[in-house]
Chain A
Amino acid sequence: MRQSMTAVLERDTTFDTRFATEPYEVAWASEARWFVQHVGGDGTATYVTQVSPDGITWCDLDGAEHVVEPGKLVSWPAAGFGHWLRLRAKVEGSVQVRIHLAVKA
């Protein structure tokens, strides 16, 4: 049976400026999918998947930007990542965010 894990990287956290999620180690996983839900606030945020060689220094995985509007749940996969994943976000207005990272071996 394949190993799997869901990590809640932000739990109804409110942001009104750009932010990045905490580093998360996924070396054991071959699949990853983000679920970003705006559970409150009237703002909009744009998310980009980032990867890192060490959990300290980061670059974008691809050019894809994912826009999440108030009350919406948006999901996208991440493929070809290394040992770490995080999201960076640009925020317009105020957003209350719930972020799940679902990973599988």
Chain B
Amino acid sequence: MTTSDVRAALLSADPKLSKFSPLPRILAFDEFDSGTHGWTELLGNYNGRGDLSTVDDHMRDFRPPQLSACNFFDIGTHGALSGTYALKLATRPYKGHTAVAIRRLTMSGRGLVQLETYFAFKSEATLGGGSELDTFGDVQWDGNTHPSEAQFGAFTVATDLCGDGGLRYHTVARYQNTDMDNHFTRRWMAPTVPEPTPREHFEGKVKLEYAADFTAPNPEDWQPFGEPQELCYNEVPTKVNWHYLRWLVDTDKRRNVELQVNDRVMDMRDVPVPPYEERYETLENLLNFYFSVRTHSSVRNFLFLDSVLISVDW
């Protein structure tokens, strides 16, 4: 029996880890029954006096993540996959608003980095109102499909990486459920430009408004990859079905590798990873991960994470 056989046996016998496929070294294993594990609100940069009015408008309100028992008006506590609590990102009920949770590490090597999670996405339930609320976007309530599903905009998983003399870049994968007009698109997308940064605003290059898409504000700078994919929203806003996501990137080649979401594996090696043209200081070996959720309606959107596992081959 080889070392790798022993490792595989141990992983498969562990009920917590056997639902993941980690690379050789596990950097983080986050189950949210035991806290937020360093997933925290993202905030834009501010000046030397702590003056928060100097934070970019589009990066000042990404909302604190919550430890959620997935409580709902109709059934009470839903609970998570691994226990009672999930990490919840919640937007404001404001079209275009984004909630972001980030986790901050650094790299002690280069090579493959893999993020795995079990996630669910929901819109907030609507209570009351007239029969006009039985229709939204492309959906007419028919006992099966529910307008809530069309009220969910998009969620994103991404990195912020820097090294090798200040070369900074992001890898990004976004599931766009609907476009900004609330029509289903149900596709995976990635930006073709790097994310606007506070330094670019400081230098007068870019100024974005509140609720702008901070990852890449211009919709024309996003390109789909893979084939459209229907996920399991499960009819109403209070049923939570957990999806598996596994995302592999290569920090040696500074490229995406592949994205698996449930039974779909998408080759991402040709998805662009545009670096910043200028070099960045104070970010050497930066290894950040973030999840975000963006509403395309005036309804709060939620992204629930049951657990996250980050592993590397170095």
B179 at the interface (CB under 8 A from A): no
Once the chains bind, are B73 and A53 in contact (CB under 8 Å)?
Answer: yes
B165 interface residue, CB < 8 Å from A? no
Q: Is the Cβ of A11 less than 8 Å from the Cβ of B34?
A: no
Residues of A within 8 A of B53 (CB): 12
Q: Evaluate contact between B68 and A25: CB separation under 8 angstroms.
A: yes
Is the C-beta of B160 less than 8 angstroms from some C-beta in chain A? no
Which residue of B is nearest A53, CB measured?
B73
Which residue of chain A has the shortest Cβ distance to B126 in the bound complex? A56
**Complex contacts, B41 vs chain A, CB 8 Å:** 8
Task: Select A56's contact among B64, B67, B127, beta carbons within 8 Å.
Answer: B127
Say whether, besides A3-B35, A83-B69, A11 and B60 are in contact (CB < 8 Å): yes
Q: Does A84 contact B (CB under 8 A)?
A: yes
Confirm or deny: B90 has a beta carbon within 8 angstroms of a beta carbon on chain A. Answer: yes
- Chain B residues within 8 Å of chain A by Cβ, number: 27
Q: Are B67 and A28 in contact (CB under 8 A)?
A: yes
Chain B positions 101 through 132: 1 when the CB is less than 8 Å from some CB of chain A, otherwise 0: 00000000000000000000000110100000
Nearest-Cβ distance from residue A66 to partner chain B, whole angstroms: 21
A24-B64 Cα distance, complex, nearest whole Å: 9
Q: Is B52 an interface residue (CB 8 A)?
A: yes
Query: Contact: A56 with B34, CB < 8 Å?
Result: no
Query: How many angstroms between the C-alpha atoms of A63 and B64 in the bound complex?
Result: 27
Residues of chain A with a CB closer than 8 A to B84's CB:
27-28
B interface majority secondary structure: loop
A contact residues around B92 at 8 Å (CB): 22
Within 8 A of B (CB), among A8-46: 8-9, 11-12, 22-25, 27-28
Contact present for A27 and B77 (CB under 8 Å)? yes
Q: Is B85 an interface residue (CB 8 A)?
A: yes
B52 touches A12 (CB 8 A): yes
| Cα separation A57 to B68 with both chains bound (whole Å) | 17
* Distance between B192 CB and nearest chain A CB, rounded to angstroms: 31
B79 to chain A, nearest CB (A): 11
B88: nearest chain-A partner, CB-CB? A25
Q: Are A55 and B64 closer than 8 Å at their CB atoms?
A: no
**B61 interface contact, C-beta 8 A:** yes
CA A21 to CA B53, docked complex, whole Å: 20
Check if B71 is an interface residue, CB within 8 A of chain A.
yes
B34 near A3: Cβ-Cβ < 8 Å:
yes
A56–B68 touching, CB < 8 Å: no
Contacts of A65 in B (CB 8 A): none
Residue in chain B with minimal CB distance to A105 = B35
Bound state CA distance, A23 and B88, in angstroms?
12
B72 CB-CB contact with A under 8 Å? yes
Q: Does A5 contact B (CB under 8 A)?
A: yes
A83→B124 contact, CB < 8 A: no
Closest to A82 in B: B71
**Cα–Cα, bound, A66→B268 (Å):** 54
Q: Closest CB of chain A to B23's CB: distance in Å?
A: 29
| Interface residue? B239 (CB, 8 A) | no
Contact check, A28 vs B85: say whether CB atoms are below 8 A apart: yes
Interface residue from B52, B73, B85, B90 paired with A11 (Cβ < 8 Å):
B52
Q: Does B36 interact with chain A (Cβ within 8 Å)?
A: yes
Contacts A8-B64, A12-B52 hold; do A27 and B124 have CB atoms under 8 A apart? Answer: no
Contacts A3-B34, A12-B52 given; indicate if A22 touches B63 (C-beta within 8 A): yes
Interface residues of B (CB under 8 A from A): 34-36, 41, 43, 52-53, 60-61, 63-64, 66-69, 71-73, 77, 84-85, 88, 90, 92, 124-125, 127
13 sample A-B contacts, Cβ–Cβ < 8 Å, listed by A number: A7-B64, A7-B66, A11-B43, A22-B90, A27-B71, A28-B67, A28-B69, A54-B72, A55-B71, A55-B73, A56-B73, A56-B125, A56-B127
| Given A25-B69, A55-B124; 11 other pairs, CB 8 A cutoff | A5-B35, A11-B61, A22-B90, A24-B64, A25-B88, A27-B69, A54-B73, A56-B124, A57-B127, A83-B69, A83-B77
